[in-house]
Amino acid sequence: MRIAVTGSTGLIGSALVRSLREDGHEVVRFVRREPAAGDEVRWDPARGHVDPAGLVGCGAVVGLAGAGVGERRWTAAYKKEIRDSRVLGTAALARAMAAMDEPPQVFVVGTAIGYYGDTGDRPVDERAPAGGGFLPSVCVEWEAAAAPAQEAGIRTAFARTGLVVAREGGAWGRLFPIFRAGIGGRLGNGRQYWSYISLRDEVAALRHIIDTPSIEGPVNLTAPEPLTNREVTAAMARMLRRPALLPVPALALRIVLGEFSSDVLGSQRARPARLLESGFAFRDPGIEDAIRSAL
């Protein structure tokens, strides 16, 4: 199959492209600069421009582009960049596909469990409503931006991803060096739930969505049983054979991270009901499995 991917240089995108190519699929990578390779196609999400030639013949489109949520302190300008990089890019792809005579069969929009906001210790699945706050509002707009594709009859799925356990990037990419140095610890009181997924299960789940015609709408990409930050911390310490004695106070996180600290300290107990119902089999269902896979 010919598959178009945006965000192909990111943690998830690069792993997905590698997996698809290993199995013989043709991947078209959308880039915001001048193409430097035969598999690259130029797009300008901020201006809503997508080269339709890059979509011709594609059976699937996977949108993973977006400014890093935890990369910088949340100024008003950076919050706008976080929103626009997701909403405008998704809308541009959806409009381009909807205008095609023979559009792709499926559009997978890589969103986030940030949709649910802080759920405390209450389990939530895909039937739960959106939460309140900045990230939930971004996720709502992000998913709504795919409406042109849905209205054109393109099967559209929203892959709401949790915390990806990987050494190469994301939140865990920062945690591994800290724990290896023996200075890891819980964040705040440690009672907040972390809904995680290993990188290889994340890639497998995205491919499962592409290959399963019955899947559309929201799909949580998280391991079956979320754990508290305290439990995750203990597992990291066991697996890396290092102490985890230095908790990070909530006040310190608020000083360093600003508004983003409320999401770090928030709790999301999301469960992957749609994945499990569709027969997806996790290779790394537990936290130690996920950490071992990353190592």
Are residues 5 and 64 in contact, defined by beta-carbon separation less than 8 angstroms?
yes
Band the pLDDT of 294: cuts 50, 70, 90.
very high
Confidence (pLDDT) at 290: 96
For the chain, the average pLDDT equals 91
pLDDT tens-digit map of 210-229: 999 999 999 999 999 999 99
| Residue 208 contacts residue 293 (beta carbons within 8 Å) | no
- Residues 77-102 have pLDDT tens digits of 989 999 999 999 999 999 999 999 99
CA distances from 188 to 91, 178, 236, 262, 278 (A): 37, 16, 17, 11, 36
pLDDT value of position 231? 94
Q: Look at residue 204 and tell me whether its pLDDT is greater than 80.
A: yes
The string of DSSP codes covering 148-212 is: HHHHTT-EEEEEEE-EEE-SSSHHHHHHHHHHHTT----BTTS-SEE-EEEHHHHHHHHHHHHH-
What is residue 172's predicted lDDT score, i.e. its pLDDT?
81
Q: Is the predicted pLDDT of residue 250 greater than 70, yes or no?
A: no
- What is the reported pTM? 0.93
What band does 262 get if pLDDT is binned at 50, 70 and 90?
Answer: low
What pLDDT sits at residue 152?
A: 97
Residues 284 and 201 sit within 8 Å (Cβ to Cβ)? yes
Q: Tell me, what DSSP letter sits at residue 103?
A: -
Examine the pLDDT at 244 and tell me if it is beyond 60: yes
pLDDT in tens, 40-90: 999 999 888 998 889 999 999 999 999 888 777 778 998 999 999 999 999
Question: What is residue 100's predicted lDDT score, i.e. its pLDDT?
Answer: 95
Residue 249 CB contacts under 8 Å (≥ 6 apart), including other chains: 188
Q: Which amino acid is at 267?
A: S
Q: Where are the alpha helices (DSSP H) in the chain?
A: 11-22, 76-98, 134-144, 147-151, 170-180, 199-211, 229-240, 250-257, 261-264, 273-277, 287-294
Whole-number pLDDT of residue 263: 56
Q: Largest alpha-carbon pair distance within the chain?
A: 60
C-alpha of 182 from chain center? 28
Beta carbons within 8 Å of 293's beta carbon, 6+ residues apart = 165, 198, 199, 200, 283, 284
pLDDT at 187: 81
Burial 214-235 (b: 16+ CB within 10 A, else e): ebbebbbbbbeebbbbbbbbbb
pLDDT at residue 36, as a whole number = 82
- What is residue 252's predicted lDDT score, i.e. its pLDDT? 54
Using one digit for the tens of pLDDT, what is the confidence trace for 139-177?
A: 999 999 999 999 999 999 999 999 999 998 877 887 888
- How far is Cα 146 from Cα 235, in angstroms, rounded to an integer? 38
Say if residue 128's pLDDT is above 80. yes
Fold of 2-294: Rossmann fold (3.40.50)
CA distance 198 to 202: 6
Contact between 179 and 146 under an 8 Å Cβ cutoff? The reply is: no
Give me the pLDDT at residue 255, please.
52
Backbone phi, psi, residue 288, to 5°: -70, -35
Dihedral sign, Cα of residue 233, residue 123, residue 197, residue 80 = negative
